[in-house]
Amino acid sequence: MIRIIKKLTLSAALLLVIPYANSSNLEACDTAECREYFKAYKILTKRGHSDAMATLGEFYYAGYGTEKNDTKALKWFRRAAKYDNTVAQYKAGVMYLQESDYQDIDKGISYLKKSTKVDFSPSSLVLGKVYLGGHLVEQDQAEADVWLSKAYSLNNTEARTFARQLKDSEDAKNLSLPKLFSLLQANRNAQEGQNAPIGEMETITVTAPDYSKYFNEQIARLNNSRPDTESGTGTNIAGRSCAEMWGCSSEGDSERIRDVLLSDWGLVALIFRNH
């Protein structure tokens, strides 16, 4: 699915190919097991756990254990976001940017900016593309440079690929992204100074996510933790590790954001896909 960034006459190299579906998506499911997980998370949301609220929003968005319902998905993402749940803020923000009955660009930008407070790189990438594209807001290359360079610094793979596409395009001379291009050049210089291994190949094994294991572990953790609705708790509270949160670490951390296993929200903004 492809959409061209508007207000910039970009070459074919800068077409944004945005895969909306991939093998890691949480897919619609109506089995007895899926319905049981849905019921379990509804109970946890009543206890006041924001992580459960965010997961329930994902269930509604995918139609997992229930009928697909984007309105209810947004409702639960917003509820979780009230307790500073980073990924819920991100997902609510992206949903508000999409063309729909509830589209609200200002709210979308606000939620995305809130989620960047813990250096959540997917949000920085989306914000950078929004300000660069000029499709939803007035184009602002200086603002785009801030967010794209931040996502790049956080080792966001999509941001680094996008930066290379921008720099190597015929339209690079029309782009005022000094910080991003400086980071890119510094990275290229560092790579040129290293001797590439000869006759070696890195093998990466990609396996399908084990949703049952993830859900069971999260349910067990939430059953033994204080709800976010209790005074003095929340997803930004000191003492909660990144492993216990959905969105406090960057994509370059060893403990990668577990939410990425649930959908393609962490890839790029959905607003650039065709409808």
Average pLDDT over residues 53-63: 95
Query: Does 222 map to a domain?
Result: yes
Go through 91-125 and write b for each residue having 16 or more CB atoms within 10 A of its CB, e for each that does not. Answer: bbbbbbbbeeeeeeeebbbebbebbbebbbbbbbb
Query: Does residue 9 carry a pLDDT above 60?
Result: no
- 94 inside domain: yes
What percentage of the chain exceeds 70 in pLDDT? Answer: 69
pLDDT of residue 156: 93
Q: Say if CB 140 and CB 237 are below 8 A apart.
A: no
251 belongs to a structural domain: no
> What's 129's domain CATH number?
1.25.40.10
Asked whether residue 62 is domain-assigned, the answer is yes
For the segment 12-31, what is each residue's pLDDT rounded down to a tens digit? Answer: 334 333 222 222 478 999 99
Q: SS3 string of 121-174?
A: HHHHHHHHHHHHHCCCCCCCHHHHHHHHHHHHHCCCHHHHHHHHHHHCCCCHHH
- The structural domain count of the chain equals 1
Q: Is residue 127 part of a domain?
A: yes
Within-domain flag for 35 = yes
199 within a domain of the structure (yes/no)? no
Query: Per the domain annotation, does 18 fall within a domain?
Result: no
Cβ-Cβ contacts under 8 Å for 52 (sequence gap 6 or more): 41, 44, 45, 218, 222
pLDDT given at position 242? 38
- Tell me the pLDDT tens digit for each residue of 72-94: 999 999 999 999 999 999 999 99
Check residue 205 and give its pLDDT. Answer: 56
3-state secondary structure 66-103: CCCCHHHHHHHHHHHHCCCCHHHHHHHHHHHHCCCCCC
**Containing structural domain, residue 41:** 2-10+25-189+212-229+257-272
Comparing C-alpha atoms, which of 110, 103, 21, 23 is closest to residue 70?
103
pLDDT at res. 120 = 92
Average pLDDT over residues 199-208: 53
